[in-house]
Amino acid sequence: MADRISVKICGLRTADEVAAVAAAGASYCGFTFFGKSPRCVTPATARELALGAPVGLAKVALTVNADDAFLDALTAHVPLDMLQLHGSEPPERVAEVKARYGLPVMKAVGVAEAADLATVERYVPVADQILVDAKPPKGGELPGGNGLTFDWRLIAGRRWPVPWMLAGGLTPENVGEAIAMTGARQVDVASGVERAPGVKDLARVRSFVTAAHA
């Protein structure tokens, strides 16, 4: 039997959300550290959530062009399993972060057209994982978490020599089709399982994980 699809639910803000995500069978939970995001949490809140997370649920910190001072404080304070770099960090910065903190690093890359796949290739030698996400709208406030899909046919059948996750506009309704079309073995969602910006709908979280696993 093929391995089960791994699911990451991103942008958690409460202990109830963390517990529900774990109980639903997700593999990763994400905490967002980006001031303009409705999903933003402080390191102090993330610490409490991370300390209360069940064993086996990987805790991912999402940052956007964070400097060493922020990452030093974050990693000293919050027990984390992975760093997700969601800004315009170049490959050299990904390598630097990986070496400095000794944590696996996932680099998000926005895809809107075939040419963007060359960007994915640039990160393959340095990132532990790649998050293949929709490209954010030009001039938008958020570099991710916008609920936008991209044309999944662009990556149908594509394989990279590092683990990768599919993200961007996924929902309980479309995640099965997205997996079937792209061959993704890992999926990530933020807004598609919310009832209001930054507030997870726990029934949709369960439906998403069930649909991904099906």
Ligand X SMILES: O=C(O)c1ccccc1NCC(=O)[C@H](O)[C@H](O)COP(=O)(O)O
Q: Which is nearer to ligand X, 28 or 101 (CB)?
A: 28
Let me know: does 213 contact 5? Beta carbons within 8 Å: yes
Please select the residue that binds ligand X; options are 5, 10, 57, 94, rule is CB under 6 A: 10
Decide: is 110 part of the binding site for ligand X (CB under 6 A): no
Decide: is 116 part of the binding site for ligand X (CB under 6 A): no
Q: Which is nearer to ligand X, 10 or 155 (CB)?
A: 10
Residue facing ligand X at closest CB distance: 145
Distance (Å, rounded) from C-alpha 64 to C-alpha 66? 5
Decide: is 192 part of the binding site for ligand X (CB under 6 A): yes
Please report, for residues 15, 41, 59, 130, the alpha-carbon distance to residue 78 in angstroms, rounded to integers and kept in the order given. Answer: 15, 12, 9, 22
Please report, for residues 75, 88, 126, 131, 137, the alpha-carbon distance to residue 123 in angstroms, rounded to integers and kept in the order given. Answer: 22, 12, 5, 10, 22
Which residues are within 8 A (CB) of 51 and not within 5 positions of it... i.e. 6 or more apart?
A: 79
The strand pair at 58-63 and 82-85 is best described as parallel
Please select the residue that binds ligand X; options are 28, 31, 34, 152, rule is CB under 6 A: 34
User: Which residues in the 73-92 window bind ligand X by CB under 6 A?
Assistant: 86
SS3 state at 9: strand
Q: Which is nearer to ligand X, 129 or 146 (CB)?
A: 146
Query: Given 3-state DSSP classes, what are the helix, strand and coil percentages for the chain, each rounded to the nearest 5?
Result: 35, 20, 40
Please select the residue that binds ligand X; options are 147, 176, 210, 213, rule is CB under 6 A: 147
Please select the residue that binds ligand X; options are 50, 57, 133, 208, rule is CB under 6 A: 133
Q: Which is nearer to ligand X, 11 or 172 (CB)?
A: 11
User: Which residues in the 56-75 window bind ligand X by CB under 6 A?
Assistant: 62, 64
Residue 189 beta carbon to ligand X: minimum distance, rounded to whole angstroms: 4
Local structure of residue 64 (DSSP, 8 states): S
Contacts with ligand X by CB under 6 A lie at 10-11, 30, 32, 34, 37, 39, 62, 64, 86, 133, 142-148, 167-170, 188-192
